[in-house]
Amino acid sequence: MTIKPFRNILYFLPIMIVLAGCGVKPSTTKQFTIQEPLSNANPISIDITMGGGNLQISSSEEPGIYGLIENNTEKWQPDINQGSQQITISQTEISKFTTIPSQKFINRWDLKMNGNPLDLFIEGRAYKGSLDLTDIALKSFKFLDSVSDTEVVFNKPNPVKMETFEIGSAGSNLKLSGLSNANFSQLNFRGAGGKYTLNFSGTLQQDSKVTIISGLGFTRVEIPKNIPATVIVNGIVRGLNVQGPWEADQNTYKNTGSGFQLFIEINMDMGTLELILQ
């Protein structure tokens, strides 16, 4: 099975194009019902590309993807394709968005999904998102995001090991919550010019490593006091705010605890960093 390659998010900042000059006009709202079941193939994959609207994702009881897309703009209507082990839902020309469109444009995606297990790829631009990945058995999760306002949540432990976990974002307000529940061994995060919160609440199910590369912007890392953690901060930090009972030694911060270990390496490039033990 093929998963789209993870692109370097520092090169994901496209040329600015003014939306008003694209000749896009709202029309009659159309509805697209999504009912795309998948067999018990192991693994299966779902790829989603969207922009300029609202995206909601939550779990389904059956393998596949289900839900409703409402759209009042011809150029933004989705293309849905299904193979034997893969479902792709894509919207063209998302690179033309520079901001979240006004309310006169309707582009709402409310999707439910699951797999046994599932490889999930999401690429989004200029949208508001609520991605609740709780109870979705994720073998891999790759996420690209820009000029958006999104929260990604893991409220329960992922029932399978996350073999690939990669997040890239540019110019967005992005919050990742319950990351310790994702059941990963390695998380790669790249952010540029946005506001990012990485919250590691939850229950670690294995020793976990995190690599954070952040250029400009603001990054906040939140770690519960009960998780044994080591955080190393490298690079150029414009502002550093450290809160909580860390054991600090130059650029290394440690927290004692019991159970599986969390190791985080942060590479900053002229960004602001908050490191919170709570």
Summarize the confidence of residues 87-94 as an average pLDDT. Answer: 88
What are φ and ψ of residue 19, in 5° steps? Answer: -60, -40
pTM above 0.75, yes or no: yes
The three-state DSSP-derived secondary structure of the chain is CCCCCCCCHHHCCCCCCCHHHHCCCCCCCEEEEEEEECCCCCCEEEEEEEECCEEEEEECCCCEEEEEEEECCHHHCCEEEECCCEEEEECCCHHHCCCCCCCCCCEEEEEEEECCCEEEEEEEECCEEEEECCCCCEEEEEEEEECCEEEEECCCCCCCCECEEEEEEECCEEEEECHHHHCECEEEEEEECCEEEEECCCCCCCCEEEEEEEECCEEEEEECCCCCEEEEEEEEEEEEEEECCCEEECCEEEECCCCCCEEEEEEEEEEEEEEEEC
* 204-255 residue pLDDT tens: 999 999 999 998 899 999 999 999 999 999 999 989 999 999 999 999 999 9
Convert the pLDDT of each residue in 22-59 to its tens digit.
Answer: 456 767 888 999 998 877 666 689 999 999 999 999 99
Q: CB of 204 within 8 A of CB of 258?
A: no
Q: What is the token pair recorded at 171?
A: 């110019």
Q: What is the pLDDT of residue 24?
A: 64
Residue type for position 159: P
Band of the pLDDT at 8, cuts 50, 70, 90? very low
Two structure tokens written together for 149: 């306002």
